[in-house]
Amino acid sequence: MSLGELQQLTMLAVARLGTDAYGAAIREELSRVGGREVSVPTVYVTLIRLEERGFVQSSEQAPRGGRGGRARRVFELTPSGWDALHDARASAERMWHGLTRP
């Protein structure tokens, strides 16, 4: 199964963030590192689709200290997600191999 660009970047953001991979943090990582400006709802739609495909899994994280703290839904890559990312990278590298700009 192939991954779209936003799916790949979202999965990479999840991997980079580790235990802090929740919607707003993923959105910020996509902007800061990936150069992609997306809304939090777009991030969650992407994550839900990735979860349906078995590439990420989510769990509820206990609320952090402070007033009005809410539980966060955090995401992590599954082994299938790691495999899909590695396959996407290998495919892109094969396409780039030997290519030079005219």
**Nearest residue to 74 via CA among 1, 7, 24:** 24
Domain 5-61+71-96 top-level CATH class: mainly alpha
Which of helix, strand or coil describes residue 70? coil
What is the model's pTM?
Answer: 0.87
8 class by beta-carbon count within 10 Å (0-12 exposed, 13-18 middle, 19+ buried): middle
Residue 10 backbone dihedrals phi, psi, to 5 degrees: -65, -45
The stretch 31-39 carries a mean pLDDT of: 93
| Torsion angle of the four alpha carbons 94, 96, 100, 102, in this order, in degrees rounded to the nearest 10 | 120
The stretch 60-85 carries a mean pLDDT of: 85
Six-digit token pair at 97? 């191999």
